[in-house]
Structure 1
Amino acid sequence: MLTNELRISSPADILSFVPHTLGFAPRESFVFITMRGNTLRATLRVDAPTDTNPKGFSRAMADYLALDTVANAAVLAVYTDQPAADGTPRPFNEHVEAIVETLDAAGLPLKDAWLVTSEHWKNLLCDDLRCCPIESLDSITDGHLNAEMIFRGSSYKDAPGTTYPTFNGPSDTAEQIEHAGHVLQYSEEINGSELWNQTIEQGRPVGPETAVQLLACFQFPSLRDTLMCNVIEPERIDADGSGYLLLGDGIAPDWARVDRAEDAARELITAAPEGYRAPLLTVIGWLYYLKGQSSVAAKHFTAALEDVPGYRLAELMEEIIGNGRIAPVAADEATGYKKP
């Protein structure tokens, strides 16, 4: 198989490709990859189901996968350490059987599937160990595909990037942020959009003074919303009528710019004391939502609400992804995020 000019010749190659395309090693997850012929296409990761409605889960997965309108098959990797229930051949047996049936009825048959645990992997659909033996995880990490991805500069994290260091900056940083906020309110000394756009465009480390000023800017909801819009539309002067940007509908982002904005927001989080991080955590979560990585987005919204309980924008974004919505920009192959 070929995907992005990568030659994939075995299930182990597909499994080594998964964390590279997600950016992290999945755990307790169902990872679907759509296919067209022998070409891998879109990747969908969802948390392993905890519900007792396999048919509802399988229909939801089929609806998501149907967004890839040219796909004609799919494969599935189930990452879990949960044991099979008594009397069943595999973990999540009812969900897997429902997925096979539903995808087949939808014209998107499940071509193959694998179970990946913390100790080994094996075929998920074949129960005969004589033809489908248990395989070592080394066959995934030591394979030529993983080596080629690393050679190309690809890497991934052990878990989604939602862990940030404890603040250890100057003890008066909060006072500095409050002072900068006062300057924002009562003078024109700080132009938030101009400062944020410069920071994104330059792609350089954020200096201490700039960090304080930007942190102050993000504490004001109306200005925060404008700065979010500026990630996609740099020329915007306010957030009026920007709902389509929040939802990722009808947009074609400059993804290199989005990545630079994420990097800058991460720096600002590190420079922010507790109680001032929620806006940036929410911004990063929103960017991951636009990229189609709702699980990482959700972790950032949760972190934002831990930093500032009741933070409304994080609650709103949680409601959006909690309803199973995928950003339209992520669902469209022409506009969706492609990892550099």
Structure 2
Amino acid sequence: MEKLTITTPSDVLSFIGHTLGFWPQESLVCITLNENSIGATLRIDLPRQAGQELPHARTVAHYLTSDTNATSILFAIYTSETAQHGQAKPHAGTIAALTGILAQQGIAIRDGLFVGDETLSPYDGEPGTSLALPVSSTQTSAINAESIYRGSFIEPTNRSTLPTTGQEAAKAVAVEHHIDTIAAQPTNTALQQGRKLWANMFDSNTFPNGNDCHALVANLQFPAIRDWLIADIPGVDEPMQRILFAQADQTPKWSRIEWAQQLLLHAYARTSPEHAAPVLTAIGYINWWEGRGSKAHPVSPARPRHQPCLPPGAPQRSNDRLRHRRRLEHEQRNRLQNTALPPALRNQSSNCQSKAWPKSTGDSGHQLSSTTTPARQPLTGF
């Protein structure tokens, strides 16, 4: 494995940005270390209210101690709050609480950075001293240059950009037609046909047409079919629950996962808000697998409240069809035994950025190597 030489605070921030894939805001970022080797990278929202420092520190420590090799950490506070001469740094209580809790676990804090909107400085340094550097210095750091050369880039925020949609009423009607067809089928038939449709999309080198997109979105409306389709994404032959929670022993096919995200975004642009939630859930899983918990949550909302997108006079599903749909959902859900969503898709304030699924260096189709943290990356110079 290549050595990663980090010699300056700007290198540290560049490493964080390229590891997460975005520039953190109002965040605490921690990197676990074992001597001169990097472990996991964690980003978590800063406490929003006074009195939350200790619970917040316990949550952070819980994540960090999952790296059993960690002996120390680097941290960076990203905030728009300014430090004043003679006063404690913003979020000093959070860092003090974290220092004490980690010390009980035998983990020391090696160093810390305070990152404002314009400048960065040592966390324990006085504001306005010569130690402060412009945040723009990260753009000329060696780590930033190397990461960009490898194809990585840092987005300004963790918000995922979703394609726009239009003609919502017509799209909703098209999806509902496929939903009715699926609900009328025997359970196994519906599941097999949904997985076959999905497999054919993976085998193709072009995006599916509108009708196939509507059929895919319709299949995703049934939770158990949705979960099977999500589990089919990595291309590994293991139990579904192990795949969904990134616990499979086999290495996922990262190029296949990247193609799945493109397919889902393509389908999202061809659906209506009424049917978008499960599509976003699948995209959220992909972000979580790739170690982007902060992106997984924003694109994985609870099913939004909405007004029906059916046009006036459109036929409504009959009670019989609704019963068929509920039966299918119930029977297939039993096969899954109520698998829960991973934490990153449920909780925005505690999104761990250490990757859920280790990347294989043998998959040349995966283009995210410079935006995920290896399990143990040697570094020198810091």
- TM-score > 0.5, shorter chain as reference: yes
Bigger shift: residues 31-40 or 172-181 = 172-181
1:85 and 1:91 in contact (8 A); partners too: no
Gaps of 5+ in 2: 308-337, 361-365, 370-382
1:278 and 1:308 in contact (8 A); partners too: no
Gaps of 5+ in 1: none
2:120 and 2:135 in contact (8 A); partners too: yes
Partner of 1:286: 285
Distance 2:246 2:350 in 1: 11
Query: For 1:14-45, what per-residue CA distance to the aligned partner results, in whole angstroms no more than 9, with x for missing partners?
Result: 10111111111111111111112222221111
Query: For 1:50-77, what per-residue CA distance to the aligned partner results, in whole angstroms no more than 9, with x for missing partners?
Result: 2413233222212211111122211001
- CA distance 1:155–1:279, shift in 2 (3 Å): same
Distance 2:205 2:121 in 1: 43
- CA distance 1:292–1:114, shift in 2 (3 Å): same
Partner of 2:324: none
Distance 1:319 1:20 in 2: 19
1:32 and 1:44 in contact (8 A); partners too: yes
Partner of 2:207: 205
Matched, 1:58 2:53: no
Partner of 2:368: 339
Distance 1:79 1:305 in 2: 31
AA aligned to 1:229 is A
Greater RCO structure (CA 8 Å; 6+ sep): 2
Partner of 1:268: 267
Partner of 1:181: 179
2:43 and 2:351 in contact (8 A); partners too: no
1:32 and 1:77 in contact (8 A); partners too: yes
- CA distance 1:234–1:198, shift in 2 (3 Å): farther
Distance 1:7 1:226 in 2: 42
1:112 counterpart SS class: strand
1:245 and 1:251 in contact (8 A); partners too: no
Partner of 2:87: 88
2:30 counterpart SS class: strand
Per the normalisation by structure 1, the TM-score is 0.81
2:33 and 2:73 in contact (8 A); partners too: yes
Partner of 2:114: 115
Match of 1:134 among 132, 135, 149: 132
Partner of 1:8: 6
Matched, 1:165 2:163: yes
Partner of 2:148: 150
1:42 and 1:68 in contact (8 A); partners too: yes
AA aligned to 1:211 is C
1:301 counterpart SS class: coil
Match of 1:196 among 198, 219, 224: 198
Q: CA RMSD in A?
A: 3.7
Distance 1:285 1:200 in 2: 19
1:114 and 1:123 in contact (8 A); partners too: yes
Per the normalisation by structure 2, the TM-score is 0.73
